[in-house]
Copies of this chain bind each other. A is one copy, B any other.
Amino acid sequence: MWVKRWLLGRPLATAQVSHERLSNPVALAVFSSDPLSSTAYATEEIFLVLILAGTAALHYSIGISLVIVGLVAILTASYRQTIFAYPSGGGAYVVAKSNLGESPGLVAAAALLIDYVLTVAVSVAAGIAAITSAVPALREHRVALGLAAIVILTWANLRGVRESGRIFAVPTYLFVGGLGLVIMVGLGRELFGAPVDHAVPSVPAVEGLTLFLLLRAFSSGCTALTGIEAISNGVPAFREPVSKNAATTLTWMAVMLASLFLGLTVLAYLYGLVPREDETLISQIARISLGGGVFYYFIQAATAMILILAANTSYNGFPRLASILAQDSFLPRQMRSLGDRLAFSNGILILGLCAAVLLVIFRGDTHALIPLYAIGVFLSFTLSQAGMVRHWQDHKRPGWRKALAINLTGAVATGVATVVLALTKFTHGAWVVIVLVPLLIGMFRKIQWHYRIADWQLALDMYERPRTPPPNVLVMPISGVNRSIVMALDYARRCGEDLRAVYVDLDPDETIKIKGQWDRWGAGTPLVILSSPYRSFLAPLLNYIETVRQEQPGVWVTVVLPEVIPARWWQNLLHNQRALLIKAALLFQFRVVVIDVPYHLGPY
């Protein structure tokens, strides 16, 4: 227990929940680390596709970035509507389910669960890439470093949400400030006369510059938008008035995101940079703009920190969504409950585990994970916005037409983007998500179906309670006659009339001895001797229980197990092996009750 306390901190009372609210600057850090940090790899992903058509194609990156910034503006306007309409948290699942129905809701839920896991894996992989760009010697340890980061994140989140906020505020602002400096210094020098001198490599084209290639570049850049919905999910974490605070924070976040993304893309283009295997694009930009040295390492450290901590958005979102799904019986019911620290411990642990598995499978490579990433996000964007369109049709408050128009724009824009993403990334990994979503939905439905049947079978409406209790035969297997046995016998004699001790005969001499001892200590309880031609202890006992049940149909059999409990854990290896075997064999037996009667040995 104290280990748990030391690791996770004191438990928080339910009454403390309402105090676990975040101020706007802290909330900005907590919810924005995911979208802001994606600027660390979005530009590079665009360049990675365009470079296939040679260095000359790179100037399209500016246009593509502008389209994406346009999407940011549309989505921000859309989600501001959601925040005001759903002050208790308008995740895509809730919005889609309540407006469009259960099936679209489950599609959104499945897509979101997948993307929460991918956010953790991608962010951690990119964060480690920021570190290995600065310290190339660590490159070969990137999977181990990533796993360590996931373990630390999981631990921090099991501690609870407010401390998370504090942990994450500093790196987010360091990252924004640092990159802002890089962009301002870089652009200032390029525009006002002191351009940096650097070699511009010329990469030949390996593919033609087709529309499909441009759309693929756009799809890759769309990773910049991932996580933009986090604030609308987490509205209740804000201080009162929650909706207003959340909407303001969302706008701030969008402005920062657009500025950083656009600034970095323009700088990368002006510097004539190309993606490299061993160094990220953002590391190249920072190195050139600030000229290496201590500032450069500071930028890399801030980038690594915000990326690794960006995964925190998922640690807030995943368990919350899993809990909502569990309340609707789509996931196991134990995922409903809050842990001691106001965190949804089960969900946090599952998220950490899945992300760790992904990281190992993809060997910690960001580029390999990216194609799986954005498709789920955009699927949920689309369903969420479409749900809002229906919402305004049903709730015609003042100004509903304008709100509907905004959300309709959002739905169409993200819908088109989803189709583009699915088509251009399908063979690069998006098919995995397209296969996983229906599988997850199948699981949701199967679990809900099970709970429905179980609840129906357990319902008391039609239950005919027996007036007289069914007959009950108590069977106590004994391996000898000692205090533990006698104590269990005296206990069992109170539980029913028909008590029988059972001894499996493995050695005739021993059996005669036991019979004699039982005459003295058995208190008149009959002793049944079972023969065991195959020297098995278990089989004769199970056969005997079966015989009892066949003789008296409808009978309950209660097996009383005397157990010796030693004072130290390792001594358990020296006791109770038979009791364990018996319990394992009886676990799924019909109308068999097991009673464990402990006898505690003293320490010595």
Q: Count of chain A residues with Cβ under 8 Å from any Cβ of B?
A: 72
A481 is contacted by which of B11, B337, B460, B556 (Cβ under 8 Å)?
Answer: B460
For A597, list chain B residues within 8 Å (CB). Answer: 593
Alpha-carbon gap, A573 to B483, bound state (A)? 38
For A517, list chain B residues within 8 Å (CB). Answer: 460
Q: Closest residue to A465 on the B side, CB-wise? A: B486
- Report the minimum CB–CB distance from A447 to chain B (whole Å): 6
A483 is contacted by which of B458, B494, B602 (Cβ under 8 Å)?
Answer: B458
A596 touches B594 (CB 8 A): yes
A564 is contacted by which of B454, B483, B588 (Cβ under 8 Å)?
Answer: B454
Q: Closest residue to A592 on the B side, CB-wise? A: B598
Alpha-carbon gap, A594 to B597, bound state (A)? 7
Stretch at the interface among A52-60, A154-162, A190-198, A529-537: A529-537
A588 touches B565 (CB 8 A): yes
B454 touches A566 (CB 8 A): yes
For A575, list chain B residues within 8 Å (CB). Answer: 454
A534 touches B571 (CB 8 A): no
Interface string of A171-215 (1 = CB under 8 A from B): 000000000000000000000000000000000000000000000
Q: Closest residue to A575 on the B side, CB-wise? A: B454
For A573, list chain B residues within 8 Å (CB). Answer: 332
Is A496 in the interface zone, CB < 8 Å from B? yes
A494 is contacted by which of B11, B495, B521, B577 (Cβ under 8 Å)?
Answer: B495
For A2, list chain B residues within 8 Å (CB). Answer: none
A574 touches B494 (CB 8 A): no
Q: Closest residue to A457 on the B side, CB-wise? A: B601
Is A595 in the interface zone, CB < 8 Å from B? yes
A601 is contacted by which of B14, B453, B601 (Cβ under 8 Å)?
Answer: B453
A600 touches B594 (CB 8 A): no
Is A13 in the interface zone, CB < 8 Å from B? yes
Is A338 in the interface zone, CB < 8 Å from B? yes
Interface string of A487-508 (1 = CB under 8 A from B): 0001101111000000000100
- Report the minimum CB–CB distance from A439 to chain B (whole Å): 15
Is A390 in the interface zone, CB < 8 Å from B? no
Known contacts A490-B465, A494-B469: A459-B447 contact under CB 8 Å: no
Known contacts A600-B590, A601-B457: A494-B472 contact under CB 8 Å: yes
For A571, list chain B residues within 8 Å (CB). Answer: 450
A11 touches B536 (CB 8 A): yes
Alpha-carbon gap, A153 to B11, bound state (A)? 53
Please provide the chain A residues from 546 to 604 with a CB less than 8 Å away from any CB of chain B in the complex. 556, 564-566, 571, 573-575, 577-578, 588-602, 604
A598 touches B593 (CB 8 A): yes
Known contacts A458-B564, A574-B333: A534-B11 contact under CB 8 Å: yes
12 chain-A/chain-B pairs, Cβ below 8 angstroms: A337-B535, A338-B535, A340-B534, A450-B566, A450-B571, A453-B601, A460-B481, A460-B483, A491-B593, A589-B598, A591-B598, A595-B596
The 7 closest A-B pairs by CB, nearest first: A458-B482, A11-B534, A13-B533, A334-B577, A495-B495, A458-B483, A594-B596
Q: A340-B535, A450-B566, A450-B574 are in contact. List 17 more A-B contacts (CB 8 A).
A: A13-B534, A338-B535, A340-B534, A451-B574, A454-B564, A455-B482, A458-B484, A458-B599, A460-B481, A460-B517, A465-B490, A469-B494, A472-B491, A495-B495, A590-B598, A593-B597, A595-B596
Q: Footprint of B on A, CB under 8 Å?
A: 11-15, 332-334, 337-340, 447, 450-451, 453-455, 457-460, 463, 465-466, 469, 472, 481-484, 486, 490-491, 493-496, 506, 517, 521, 533-537, 556, 564-566, 571, 573-575, 577-578, 588-602, 604
